[in-house]
Amino acid sequence: MCEVSDSAVLVKKRVTLDDVAKVAHVATSTASRALNRPGRINAETEALVRQVAIELGYERPENFWLRTHVLTQKVGVVIALEQYRMLAAIQDKLILEHYLPVLYPTVPNQSARIIKREFNNVDGLIIDNPQTPGRIHLEIPNTEPLVVTNCVIDEATCVVPDTEQGVAVLLTHLKSLRHRSITYFYAKDCWLGESILQALQSGCGQAGVILHPMGNVGNNLEAGARAVAAWCRHKDSAAVFCGDYSALGFMQELNRSLKMLVPDDVSVVAIGDAFIGRLCPSVTTTLEVPYRRIGTEAVRQLLSQIYHPSGRERRVKPMKMSLVNGGTTGIS
């Protein structure tokens, strides 16, 4: 039987699963399986972990068998298939942690129904929700493990790009090129687009840069092409798109219909996936959303909730954005 020091027994702070794993000399995931899923590891290790947990005061022994449902080693992922980079990161991290990802593609107006239906079939959920907070309502008990990405809501831990930091980097870059006016294109029902807008309004006000926001511009080539007419109202020296495909569509239409060149006539910045920007003959300058790091961090946050079932806490985990300087920005 494992020896437990008096100091370990007498510690008054709440004993965590990590404490149990450390004293038992096993991984946290092994300790979780021993306490939540009897019979999944060898009997000797399971008995050791349970004894350590009892001696450390990690819950009452009878609570080990009174979970709302037996852990499945599965995590549900509600995400649009086009978010392939973040999805790949989520899958890689889950598999590394011996979890099976179960993919539920987003279906318009059906995400809430899918979430409620599937929660008892998985140990937790990662929901990618690019919409604004008012457009998502989660009827999930606050004891259930849940992480939301690319949106900030009150009901869950949220992993999001650090838009305030990212916009500060972007404005520093544009000011160094002597830009003093920006047209910003975004979709109004997108959390990222509106969060960037708030950061731009604050940053441009402080920097003395003129900002012209243009909403209702989706992230596709057609929307980007239509944005040329809106840009012509002010002909600002820089055009910033919350979307990589819309930026490409804008540049193509600008050259086709107006015979204007980027960055000679206007500098263009995309906010999104830098990989898409490489499809352009001149690599698009991109304020990159760190999709892979967001996905990996979302898994870390979710597993922490699964391993420490003490109620869901609301946390916002901002992930640093970076500027990929391409050939579409130049001196104004």
pLDDT tens-digit series, residues 44-97? 888 898 888 888 877 544 444 344 556 789 999 989 888 889 999 999 999 999
Gap between the Cα atoms of 164 and 273, Å rounded: 18
Helices (H), 57-143: 84-96, 111-118
Q: Do the two domains 6-65 and 163-289 of this chain adopt the same fold?
A: no
Q: Are 201 and 211 in contact (CB under 8 A)?
A: yes
Instruction: Indicate whether 297 pLDDT > 90.
Output: yes
Q: Which residues are 32's β-sheet partners?
A: none
Residue 281: what pLDDT?
Answer: 76
- CATH superfamily, domain 74-161+292-319, is Response regulator (3.40.50.2300)
Q: Are 215 and 187 in contact (CB under 8 A)?
A: yes
Left (φ > 0), alpha (ψ -120 to 50) or beta: where does 219 sit? Answer: beta
Domain residue extents for the chain: 6-65, 74-161+292-319, 163-289
Taking alpha carbons only, the member of 87, 203, 101, 209 closest to residue 150 is 87
Instruction: Indicate whether 224 pLDDT > 50.
Output: yes
Gap between the Cα atoms of 248 and 246, Å rounded: 5
Residue 312: what pLDDT?
Answer: 58
The residue with tokens 């457009």 is 135
- Measure CA 72 to chain center: 24
Average pLDDT of the residues of the chain: 85
Q: Are 207 and 175 in contact (CB under 8 A)?
A: yes
Gap between the Cα atoms of 323 and 271, Å rounded: 9
Gap between the Cα atoms of 262 and 266, Å rounded: 6
pLDDT tens-digit series, residues 172-212? 999 999 999 999 999 988 999 999 999 999 999 999 999 99
The architecture of the domain spanning 163-289 is: 3-Layer(aba) Sandwich (3.40)
Element (H, E) at 150: none
Highest mean predicted confidence (pLDDT) among 22-31, 100-109, 171-180: 171-180
Q: Are 332 and 180 in contact (CB under 8 A)?
A: yes
Gap between the Cα atoms of 235 and 223, Å rounded: 18
Q: From start to end of the chain, where are the E strands? A: 74-79, 100-105, 125-128, 146-149, 157-161, 181-185, 210-214, 238-241, 267-272, 285-288, 316-319, 322-324
Residue 82: what pLDDT?
Answer: 84
As a whole number of Å, the CA-based R_g of the chain is: 24
Instruction: Indicate whether 32 pLDDT > 70.
Output: yes
The architecture of the domain spanning 6-65 is: Orthogonal Bundle (1.10)
Triad 20, 21, 22: Cα angle to 5°: 90
Taking alpha carbons only, the member of 8, 124, 28, 149 closest to residue 68 is 124
CB atoms within 10 A of CB 180: 15
